[in-house]
């Protein structure tokens, strides 16, 4: 167990290291970060002075070392737009994004796991068909269109729910549904196929032959084994949710990291963009590390690999 833990921790560290390099490199893609950061009308003299002040003339790896050192201390530089530390601005917005992603994930799990199980147990019945078709549509609906259509229906036509902002639980409903639908569809399909596979296994047949009645077979024997791929995908789906929050937050004016980043890119406020990308990616890495640890409890064979 401890070697598995150490190896897994090391892997996460390497990944975070790589993430930091990519985040650093984004600014250097055009070859001249000074031109990316300064407004287009900056004079040649301004650009030269700025380059000198920011140390952009130093060797690439020296600059990366400085960036990494700063990042480890939570220093991504000052926001060009707000004149505050970029890190603080992003951290301030994190709770809103976690609230939205968490609500979407909770909604997805509450809908998809029962739907997937019922769909598998009652295979090829109308219930299964409805769940399958709904899941297929859920996977094909673009988030941003769904969000706009929900606003059209519930905010403009029916005037039941607010279309933007954060605060009351009502504010959370539309964004969470918008963000969560794709994940709901994914997990429904996965649960269904996982359950179908498990229900055909010998030990399920044995349990049934021993006279165990239907519901314990499904809920105890089958679900426990079908849960393993579901737990993995929950970790991966969190990445989808954090990424999807960029679009959803923009549509619903939700004051989270996603909306902040889109605004920051429009303002060429790259320190904020770098801090946001780094923090969201780190969150994803940490959550997946935790998921893997949960995983070892569900399936002890993993530890031995």
Partner 1 sequence: MATVVLPEAAPAERAQWLGFLRRLATRRTALFGLIVVLLVIVTAVAAPLLSPFDPIEQDLGDLRLKPPGFRDAAGHVHPLGTDHLGRDLLARVIHGARPALLVGFAAVAISGLIGMAAGLVSGYVGGRADDVLMRLADIQLAFPFILLAIAVIGVLGPSLTTIIVVIGVSSWVVYARIVRGAVLTLREREFVQAAQALGSGDIRVVIRHILPNALTPWLVVATLDMARVIVIESALSFLGLGVQPPAPTWGGMLADGRVYISTAWWLATFPGLAILVTVLGINLFGDGLRDTLDPRLKV
Question: Residues 6 or more apart from 243 whose CB is under 8 A from it?
Answer: 280
Helix (H, G, I), strand (E, B) or coil at 85: strand
Q: Binding pattern to partner 1, positions 25-44, x when CB under 8 A?
A: -xx-xx-----x--------
Which of the ranges 14-22, 39-47, 111-119, 172-180 carries the binding residues for partner 1, by CB under 8 A? Answer: 14-22
Q: How far is the CB of 304 from partner 1 (least distance, A)?
A: 18
Greatest Cα pair distance, the chain, in angstroms, is 85
CB closer to partner 1 out of 11 and 69: 11
265 near partner 1 (CB under 8 A): yes
Burial class of residue 45 (count of CB atoms within 10 Å of its CB; 0-12, 13-18, 19+)? exposed
- What is the footprint of partner 1 within residues 199-258 (CB under 8 A)? 229, 236, 239, 242-247, 250-251, 258
CB closer to partner 1 out of 53 and 266: 266
Q: Are 298 and 226 in contact (CB under 8 A)?
A: no
> How far is Cα 236 from Cα 77, in angstroms, rounded to an integer?
30
- What is the footprint of partner 1 within residues 49-88 (CB under 8 A)? none
284 near partner 1 (CB under 8 A): yes
The three state secondary structure string of 204-271 is HHHHHHCCCCHHHHHHHHHHHHHHHHHHHHHHHHHHHHHHHHHHHHHHCCCCCHHHHHHHHHHCCCHH
Distance between the two ends of the chain, CA-based, in angstroms? 10
> How far is Cα 15 from Cα 304, in angstroms, rounded to an integer?
22
Q: How far is the CB of 212 from partner 1 (least distance, A)?
A: 28
Which of the ranges 44-52, 59-67, 79-87, 260-268 carries the binding residues for partner 1, by CB under 8 A? Answer: 260-268
Q: What is the DSSP letter of 30?
A: T
Q: How many CA atoms lie within 13 A of 245 on its CB side?
A: 30
Q: Are 158 and 86 in contact (CB under 8 A)?
A: no
**Number of residues forming the site for partner 1 (CB under 8 A):** 53
Residue of 1, 9, 14, 160 interacting with partner 1 (CB under 8 A): 14
Closest CA to 70 of 107, 27, 8: 27
- What is the footprint of partner 1 within residues 84-143 (CB under 8 A)? 136-137, 139-143
Residue of 156, 158, 209, 304 interacting with partner 1 (CB under 8 A): 156
CB closer to partner 1 out of 85 and 240: 240
Q: How far is the CB of 219 from partner 1 (least distance, A)?
A: 24
Give the footprint of partner 1 on this chain (CB under 8 A).
11, 14-16, 18-19, 22, 26-27, 29-30, 36, 136-137, 139-145, 148-149, 151-152, 156, 229, 236, 239, 242-247, 250-251, 258, 261-262, 265-266, 268, 270, 273-274, 276-277, 280-282, 284-285
């Amino acid at each position: 167990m401890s070697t598995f833990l150490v190896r897994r921790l090391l892997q996460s560290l390497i990944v975070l290291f790589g993430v930091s390099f990519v985040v650093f490199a984004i600014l250097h893609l055009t070859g001249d970060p000074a031109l990316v950061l300064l407004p287009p009308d900056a004079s040649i003299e301004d650009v030269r002075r700025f380059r000198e002040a920011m140390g952009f003339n130093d060797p690439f790896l020296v600059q990366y070392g400085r960036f990494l050192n700063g990042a480890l201390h939570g220093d991504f530089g000052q926001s060009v737009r707000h004149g505050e530390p970029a890190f603080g601005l992003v951290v301030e917005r994190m709770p809103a994004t976690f609230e939205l992603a968490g609500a979407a994930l909770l909604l997805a799990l509450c809908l998809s796991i029962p739907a997937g199980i019922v769909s598998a147990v009652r295979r090829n019945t109308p219930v299964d068909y409805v769940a399958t078709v709904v899941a297929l549509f859920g996977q094909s609906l673009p988030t941003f269109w769904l969000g706009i259509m929900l606003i059209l229906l519930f905010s403009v036509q029916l005037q039941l729910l607010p279309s933007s902002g954060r605060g009351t639980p009502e504010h959370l409903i539309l964004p969470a549904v918008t963000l969560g639908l794709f994940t709901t569809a994914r997990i429904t399909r996965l649960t269904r196929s996982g359950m179908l596979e498990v229900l055909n296994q010998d030990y399920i047949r044995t349990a049934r032959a021993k006279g165990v009645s239907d519901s314990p077979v499904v809920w105890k024997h089958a679900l426990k084994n079908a849960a393993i791929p579901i737990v993995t995908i929950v970790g991966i789906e969190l990445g989808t949710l954090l990424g999807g929050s960029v679009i959803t937050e923009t549509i619903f004016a939700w004051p989270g990291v996603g909306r902040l980043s889109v605004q920051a890119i429009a303002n060429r406020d790259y320190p904020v963009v770098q801090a946001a990308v780094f923090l969201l990616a780190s969150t994803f890495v940490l959550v997946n590390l935790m998921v893997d640890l949960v995983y070892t409890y569900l399936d002890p064979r993993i530890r031995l690999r």
